[in-house]
Amino acid sequence: MRPIRRLQALALETPALDPSVDYYTKGFGLRLVRRSDDSATFAGADGRTVILTLYRGAKPGLRELTFVLDSTHDIELAASQMRKRGVTVVFSDPTLLTVRDPDGRHISFLADDDVENVQDAEARPLHVSHVVINSQDAATLTSFFVDTLGFTVADRYEQDLLTFLRCAQPQHHCIGISPGGQNSLNHFSVDCGSIDALMKGVGRMQKIGLTPIWGPGRHGPGGNVFCYFEDPTGFVAEFTCDVIQIHDDATWVPREWPRVPDTANVWGTGGPSPRAVELMSGRLPAA
Ligand SMILES: [Fe+2]
């Protein structure tokens, strides 16, 4: 497998499509780029690169993750390697490959498309930072990401309660895998580019009556500033920035972090609220 450059987008299913469109545009600050009766597609500050698609569905769920490879040649190579490894290929052409991960969700690959990470006056989110997945078989899913897709373990919480995985980019992690009672979204995160932009996002949410379910704070693993919100479905959506960049693999030693409030939030302002824990478990039905 050729190196995966970054995580570009995620797609979610929701029974609460209409209120979610208002939430992600007016509060969260994404740009609506396409809308149909059954779906809505959003970009970040550049107004062009799709980072989130919502599909109307009977139950909430994480449908798809989209990663970026360097070239169409890499996509062809990935398609043949996946087939050799017995991975189910759902769709394949020179510009797009979609496979099924061991839990059944879609993992897609596009060829590189330069993203402009330019902050705008509204301090809109720039790009997807990371997605954390709850899996009933976290060990098998982690092995798929590491052995088949080429990710490396950046850090983990004790007892493998959360494994942080990095692709070829320097960013500390773009995928997290947590053992869970059901396959579901734990949370997803968009990078705001700076603490100022993140806090402007918090202010934008506050103006429409939405308060964080956890944060602002700074995580131990990844070192990123965070602020988590509950969306109309019950999905947890995070603003983040300032994540650790690993430029020298030779000197990076993955740590096993104790799972205590002061590592989850090194500012000492508290671990996740009970509501955040409940929603991140992915067990809740639609709100
Ligand atoms: Fe996060």
Q: pLDDT by residue (tens digit) across 200-219? A: 999 999 999 999 999 999 99
Q: Please tell me the distance from the alpha carbon of residue 220 to that of residue 215, in angstroms, as a whole number.
A: 13
> Cα(285) to centroid of ligand 1, in Å?
21
Where in the chain are the domains? 6-113+123-280
Residue 213 vs residues 59, 120, 201, 233: alpha-carbon distances, Å: 22, 26, 14, 14
Sheet with 61-69: strands ordered across: 31-35, 39-43, 50-56, 6-14, 61-69, 106-111, 96-100, 89-93
Which residue in 7, 80, 28, 60 sits closest to 228, CA to CA? 28
> Cα(269) to centroid of ligand 1, in Å?
16
- Checking if the pLDDT of 285 tops 70, the result is no
Which residue in 235, 241, 233, 248 sits closest to 215, CA to CA? 241
Residue 256 vs residues 160, 165, 183: alpha-carbon distances, Å: 8, 13, 24
For the segment 26-42, the average pLDDT, to the nearest whole number, is: 97
Residue 131 vs residues 67, 74, 160, 164, 236: alpha-carbon distances, Å: 12, 23, 17, 10, 10
Please state which of the four CATH numbers 3.40.50.10420, 3.40.50.300, 3.10.180.10, 2.130.10.10 is assigned to the domain occupying 6-113+123-280: 3.10.180.10
* Mean confidence (pLDDT) of the chain: 95
Q: Which residues contact 33 (CB under 8 A, 6 or more apart)?
A: 41, 42, 43, 47, 48, 50
Sheet with 152-157: strands ordered across: 214-218, 225-230, 236-241, 184-191, 127-135, 175-179, 163-166, 152-157, 256-257
DSSP assigned state of 23: I
- Checking if the pLDDT of 17 tops 90, the result is yes
Asked if residues 166 and 152 have their Cβ atoms less than 8 Å apart, the reply is yes
> Cα(188) to centroid of ligand 1, in Å?
6
> Cα(110) to centroid of ligand 1, in Å?
24
Question: What does the pLDDT read at residue 284?
Answer: 63
For the segment 113-124, the average pLDDT, to the nearest whole number, is: 79
Q: How many other CB atoms are there within 10 angstroms of residue 123's CB atom?
A: 21
Question: What does the pLDDT read at residue 119?
Answer: 81
Task: Name residue 111's beta-bridge partners.
Answer: 69
Q: How many other CB atoms are there within 10 angstroms of residue 181's CB atom?
A: 10
For the segment 117-138, the average pLDDT, to the nearest whole number, is: 92
Asked if residues 165 and 266 have their Cβ atoms less than 8 Å apart, the reply is no
> Cα(226) to centroid of ligand 1, in Å?
7
> Cα(77) to centroid of ligand 1, in Å?
31
- Checking if the pLDDT of 93 tops 90, the result is yes
Q: pLDDT by residue (tens digit) across 163-194? A: 999 999 999 999 999 999 899 999 999 999 99
pLDDT confidence of 286, banded at 50, 70, 90? very low
**Token pair belonging to 87:** 């991975």
pLDDT confidence of 46, banded at 50, 70, 90? very high
Rounded to two decimals, the pTM is 0.96
Question: What does the pLDDT read at residue 287?
Answer: 38
CA 23, 26, 30, 33 dihedral sign is: positive
> Cα(252) to centroid of ligand 1, in Å?
20
Q: pLDDT by residue (tens digit) across 107-117? A: 999 997 677 67
Q: Provide the phi-psi class of 260: left if phi over 0, else alpha when psi is between -120 and 50, else beta.
A: beta
Percent share of the chain, pLDDT over 70: 97
Question: What does the pLDDT read at residue 122?
Answer: 87
Q: Which residues contact 174 (CB under 8 A, 6 or more apart)?
A: 6, 7, 128, 129, 130, 131, 165, 166, 167
> Cα(122) to centroid of ligand 1, in Å?
22
Helix and strand numbers (H, E) in the chain are 6, 17
- Checking if the pLDDT of 239 tops 50, the result is yes
